[in-house]
Amino acid sequence: MKTTAYFEAIRKRPDRAVILLEWIERAIQAPVREMVQTRVQAMKIRYFTDTDTLYIEFRDRPVTESRDLDENTVLDVDADGNICAITVEHASTRTGIPEFSYEQVTA
């Protein structure tokens, strides 16, 4: 079975140790449901220096609910409960912004 480096790294997590390899192989061979991703959108990361706000957009979908995770962090979700974006206020003191690195792991 061909897998990605990310998949292998996630399999090593203690909370995933109970998932057997034969279960994964069976799901690949006979999936309950298959979906074809028709549109791929790149994640967008914006840092607003004037307000010290970090905005991470995961998907460009209509937001139906904004949930306060704490007084400086907001999670935006769509009608299906999927995460659309995260807003982090006071980002320079709460995150590594504006210095950060990005790595795309390929299959």
User: What are φ and ψ of residue 74, in 5° steps?
Assistant: -125, 135
Minimal CA–CA distance to 91: which of 57, 51, 62? 51
Question: What number is the average pLDDT over the span 79-98?
Answer: 88
Indicate the pLDDT class of residue 106, thresholds 50, 70 and 90: low
How high is the pLDDT of residue 72? 93
69-84: average pLDDT? 94
The full set of domain ranges for the chain reads: 1-34, 37-98
Question: What local confidence, expressed as pLDDT, does residue 98 receive?
Answer: 64
State the average pLDDT over residues 38-50: 80
- The pTM (predicted TM-score) of the whole model is 0.57
Average pLDDT over residues 90-105: 75
